[in-house]
Structure 1
Amino acid sequence: MRETAGGLKQIHSDRPDCFYCSKNEKLDSLMIEAAALQVSTLYVNRDQTHGGRCIVAYRRHATELFQLDRTELRLFMEDVSLAAEAIYGAFRPDKMNYGIYGDLVPHLHVHLVPKYKGTEEWGEAFVNAPPSRKTLDPDGYRKIVEIIRSQLKR
């Protein structure tokens, strides 16, 4: 535990009941690891309804940005920015959407969702769990991972 600026004690350790921490089969069913970043991991979401959709998950267990100290927060946001730039370079969307939720999956992670003008969701928040999902064959996911890795500028 550590004390935050507001004096609240926060738990900041790995949790075996969290699929991001345990890297279990639930995680594998939802996403594919693409790259280790400074303090987080970049994953390609298996649901590719939004082509290039990825998630940046903080490597240790935390649920809120304010639980990170200043250095961790800076490094995490650098990771998010680096990943977004790589996705942008790979897919050339009109806009990147960033989503931080966590009510159902309480682990600090950011959804990076490329958006394109003229599509159904343009101008709206992306639908996290669309009624029909686009999945790819293993080669399709491999290609996405490769193109995003090729765009990572470290």
Structure 2
Amino acid sequence: MYSDPKDCLYCQNNETLHNLMIEICHLRVSRVFLFKEQTYRGRCLVAYDGHVNDLNELNDQQRNDFMADVAQTTRAMQRAFNPEKINYGAFSDTLSHLHFHLAPKYVGGPDYPGLFRMNPGEVYLTDEEYKDMIELIKKNL
């Protein structure tokens, strides 16, 4: 499936996107977001700047830069929240824009061990709590 950039929430930077997540920053070739749904404390998403469907569409330098952004983000998440493991998800079944879901998992926490759920809709925070999490991630980027 390949979507039109005019229909892509990442490319359009639209209300739907901002209802789901909060932009933290821009890295080399991608934007980093904090998911508003926080069942997995510290869950983030890294979205590639350009509208590409899959990692294999990038040239070597673009791929290396994107994966460096993903690694930089997960290192910051690890330092900020100390999860046991971070699950990586790059599905793009219904939205063909290259992005990675980064879901921290904690021993005794939701779905540990096991796969993270895409949007369990169980945990939402206050604006102040989101702000504190974003500052903690930025401090560790």
Same fold (TM over 0.5): yes
SS of 1:16 mapped into structure 2: helix
CA shift at 1:53, angstroms?
0.2
1:145 aligns with 2:141: no
- Relative distance call for 1:120 and 1:134 in structure 2 (3 A) is closer
Q: How many residues align?
A: 139
Corresponding residue of 1:124: 114
Cα-Cα RMSD = 1.3
Corresponding residue of 2:8: 18
Q: Which has the higher contact order (CA 8 A, sep 6+)?
A: 2
Give TM-score scaled by structure 2 length: 0.94
SS of 1:112 mapped into structure 2: strand
Take 1:16 and 1:58, find their aligned partners in 2: how far apart are those partners?
16
Preserved contact between residue 40 and residue 110 of structure 2 (Cα < 8 Å)? no
Identity within the alignment, %: 40
CA shift at 1:129, angstroms?
2.0
Give TM-score scaled by structure 1 length: 0.87
Q: Unaligned 5+ residue runs, structure 2?
A: none
Of Structure 1 and Structure 2, which has the larger fraction of its residues in helix?
Answer: 2
Based on CA coordinates, which of the two structures has the bigger radius of gyration?
1
Take 1:54 and 1:146, find their aligned partners in 2: how far apart are those partners?
13
Corresponding residue of 1:71: 61
CA shift at 1:106, angstroms?
1.5
Moved more, 114-123 or 85-94: 114-123
